[in-house]
């Protein structure tokens, strides 16, 4: 009788667990390391924002969120003393696979292809496979930004849903 009651209680607990799943909080920040000398901490995500100070090469920061602006990825970071600011993504090394929330609202981020025979690539570098060519003036949705092969790259989505990378010099944000 006790075994049967134990099985019924276990089954009931499993059923309730499936019906009312526990909320799981995901940690949404990552450890970052500043790379470079005289790297500027800015008030916002962009070179046109106020300079709040400078980072030291190798300084450890907590990366709180990301944004794409001016064809570049930017990170909002917190220093050990709690000071908050933004740093250009190419100057902050973040472990691959880190979960960093983006403040970029994809539906609002549009770009226009500015060159002719501009390549859509599979990866953010000149060695990425050429997936297709853009038409000059084509409007795209901006998804992300990265650096590769000495260039800034913008990840975009076409109206037909195709996704790829374009050199940021050829994608003007609208």
Nearest-angstrom CA–CA distance, 62 and 127: 32
Higher pLDDT, 77 or 104: 77
Of 42, 72, 93, the one marking the end of a domain is 93
Least confidently predicted of 46-55, 61-70, 98-107, 111-120: 98-107
Q: In the predicted model, what is the mean pLDDT of residues 137-141?
A: 94
User: Is position 24 within any domain?
Assistant: no
Backbone angles phi, psi at 106, to 5 degrees: -60, -40
Point out the least confidently predicted range of 23-27, 51-55, 57-61, 149-153. 23-27
Q: How far apart are CA 113 and CA 107, in angstroms?
A: 17
Range of the domain at 132: 106-173
Q: What is the pLDDT at residue 105?
A: 57
Give the integer Cα–Cα distance in Å for 35 and 58. Answer: 6
Any domain includes 53 = yes
Taking the whole predicted model, whether its pTM rises above 0.95 is answered as no
* pLDDT tens digits along 43-64: 999 999 999 999 999 999 999 9
pLDDT over 80 (residue 124): yes
Q: Does the pLDDT value for residue 173 go beyond 80?
A: yes
Tell me the β-bridge partners of 139.
112
Q: Based on the domain organization, do 83 and 112 belong to the same domain? A: no
CA 45, 87, 155, 126 dihedral sign is positive
Residue 6 lies in a domain: no
Q: Which of 68, 93, 118 is the last residue of a domain?
A: 93
Whole-number Å distance between alpha carbons of 132 and 67: 26
For residue 136, what are the contacts with CB-CB under 8 A and spacing of at least 6?
113, 114, 115, 116, 118
Note whether 142 and 167 are same-domain residues. yes
Q: What is the CATH number of the domain that holds 148?
A: 2.30.30.40
Q: What is the mean pLDDT of the chain?
A: 82
């Amino acid at each position: 009788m006790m075994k049967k009651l134990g099985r019924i209680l276990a089954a009931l607990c499993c059923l309730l667990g499936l019906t009312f799943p526990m909320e799981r909080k995901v940690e949404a920040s990552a450890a970052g390391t500043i790379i470079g000398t005289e790297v500027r901490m800015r008030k916002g995500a962009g070179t046109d924002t106020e300079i709040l100070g400078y980072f030291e090469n190798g300084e450890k920061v907590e990366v709180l969120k990301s944004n794409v602006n001016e064809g570049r990825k930017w990170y909002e970071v917190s220093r050990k003393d709690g000071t908050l600011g933004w740093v250009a993504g190419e100057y902050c090394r973040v472990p691959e696979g880190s979960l960093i929330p983006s403040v970029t609202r994809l539906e609002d981020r549009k770009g226009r292809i500015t060159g002719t025979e501009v390549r859509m690539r599979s990866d953010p570098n000149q060695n990425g496979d050429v997936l297709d060519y853009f038409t000059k003036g084509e409007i795209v949705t901006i998804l992300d930004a990265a650096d590769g092969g000495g260039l800034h790259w913008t990840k975009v989505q076409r109206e037909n849903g195709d996704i790829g990378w374009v050199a940021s010099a050829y994608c003007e944000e609208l």
